[in-house]
Amino acid sequence: MSRRSFDYAHPRYGPLQVVAGWDRPLQHFFITLEHYRPLCESERFLFDNLDSSTWPLPGPYIERLLIGDIRGILEHFRIPIPLNFIVDLLDDAQFDVGSYDQQYRLPERVR
């Protein structure tokens, strides 16, 4: 499974770690938006595509995400997308990448 992540100090939700990647065994994308300092375990994730109760988009809950769903979730929560993040996720799917971890940095002006 590939794992691509970045940190973002969200003005509304506080500090988050965004993690997305390609799940090689299941053959679909995943994404989580995790609070750095949750008050309790049930508040750990702002969004987790495996938890239907956190689904923010209009329409039915989708566990098997496509790349457009990743972009839509980030846009819904107004989280900026690092340069090459989406392209690298697409490459992970195209080349069926597993066991890869990369941390991204947002430009200073959006952190």
- Per-residue pLDDT 10s for the chain (111 aa) are 999 999 999 999 999 999 999 999 999 999 999 998 767 777 789 999 888 888 887 777 877 899 999 999 999 999 999 999 999 999 999 999 989 999 999 987 665
Provide long-range contacts, Cβ within 8 A and 24+ apart, for 68-72: 69/29, 69/31, 70/20, 70/29, 70/31
Angle at alpha carbon of residue 66, lines to 81 and 100, rounded to 5°: 65
Tokens of 104: 């991204």
Amino acid at 17: Q
Report the relative pairing of strands 100-104 and 2-10 from DSSP bridges.
parallel
Global pTM reads 0.90
